[in-house]
Structure 1
Amino acid sequence: MIRGLAAFILLRTVCKCNLFLLELGGNVNFSCPSSLKEHRFIQWYKQSLGMMIQTVASGVYREINLLNPFNNTRFQVHRKDDETNLIISSVSKEDEAVYFCQSGTEYSQTFIKGFFLTVKDCNLPATVYVKQTPDTTAVQLGDSTTLQCSLLSSQETSTQCPRNRSVHWFRAGSGNSHPSVIYTHRNSTGEDMGRSCVYRLSKTLQDTSDFGTYYCAVVTCGEILFGNGTKLEATELDPLVLVLGGLLFCCLTVNFLLVYKIHRRASDHFKGG
């Protein structure tokens, strides 16, 4: 649960969100403080990981309507004098997302509160974790490299790769820059490698901004599992190589001058004869 919350804080900084971890088929009630006097307008939004925002409900005062595709019996929205509630019954994996409420007046709207709903619907062993390889690799601009993210299990039996799961890749640049999503692959199926499932990302370094630490996150079974990160560094030339290269250039230059001088003398000799 702590890992899921940490992942959410990393992925979404729109608002401070509460984490809700539910079993498949459970019910959840999201409560958002909103005064009828100060917040006449109210909206509820849903954002699934890697998807566009959807409007769940919208209204004025106590008249709040659920919008398609949420206008069904599983979704309810109620508003009291000082709060509004979004209730979801019989939750499914499709309900897994960030939900947040927005309220205010005609001239000013504010995000009030957010909720991160995760739904656990399978039985992965507790020993499952994500590991990235290599830890560090040196590359030059224009080169291509392959990042590897493995879903591992310490159990002796083979691990079946989860189906219909999402794999996200993030890059954290130098300094204090925040990680940013660079690639999202939904409905991803890993490559079975015995006791691990392997996901790969090929990356071509086009400019210096491509250097940094790359993280993968596997979203599976109501959890977001983060890798340890792979650091891409610029290749540093060995000082010995630079010295040898300089000596080689000097030798070639001297040889060229010697050949030129000998050829010049030979030409002068033939002319004099």
Structure 2
Amino acid sequence: MGFLILLIQGVQIGDPVTLYCVFSNQVYNEGNMFWFKQITGEIPEVVARMQKFQPRPELYKEFNNSHLNVERAEADGIYRLTIPKMEPTDEAIYYCASRTDYEVNLINGTFLVLKGNRSDYKTVVQRSYDPVHPGDSVTLQCTVLSETCTGEQIVYWFRAGSGDSHPGVIYTPGNRSDEFEKSPETPSPTQSCVYSLSKNNLSLSDAGTYYCALATCGEILLGNGTTFYIVSSSMFALLMCIVLIIYLMYTRKNKKICDCCNGKSIVIIIILSEKHLVYLYICFRLYFGFK
């Protein structure tokens, strides 16, 4: 089995959608290729099967008479799936796979998520955080504004790290605290359903953006994301050293600060205490020539 990378794409009802699947030359020449559709909470369905010598992809079962269409693109090994107008039933994960005599390999996938008002849920909001330091503890909060908090609900947490790392998934059943308040702007009461995830003893590797996703009644509601900026004490000290160095260089150039400034070197030492450990930073040593 291959490793499936999912892209999340928000779509409005009525929007046209085009998805592409790119197969390698070896797979295109030897294997059977498939498009799959998977609604959350259900088993995958085969949309179409593609083979090199087929003039057109073979649509399966109910997709043969649906508004979904799969066709060969201009280049070999590339197929596209089109949805002329997005409908609520089209919200699902669409992904490609190839099958040989020995294995099935997943190629790539896209999660089509409907945007806008759907069912009783209004919005999912995540609070922002100020920069934190290594060793700190924080609690991620995901607030769902809706008319009801009933029903089976599962919260997933996604973490997108820095660099080229792929988003990771943190699963939690969600520690939820329900708050009920009357909204004066709506005829019906609105509940604030809060889901939380605790992160203790943060390290630099915990930096990134965390997204919550609420799965309920066959729908996925995505949050706007919470980004953690973790500030290292050593980086802060280095920054302060640089600022101090620039200041001293400027003042030495224009006037004498004190008698000791007639020397030929400057050594700036900053001592920090962090968790009972003492760090010594020798930030700068520069020789000046004076007349």
Q: What's the TM-score once normalised by structure 1's chain length?
A: 0.48
* Structure ranking higher on relative contact order (CA contacts 8 Å, 6+ apart): 1
For the pair shown, the structure with the greater C-alpha radius of gyration is 1
Q: What's the TM-score once normalised by structure 2's chain length?
A: 0.46
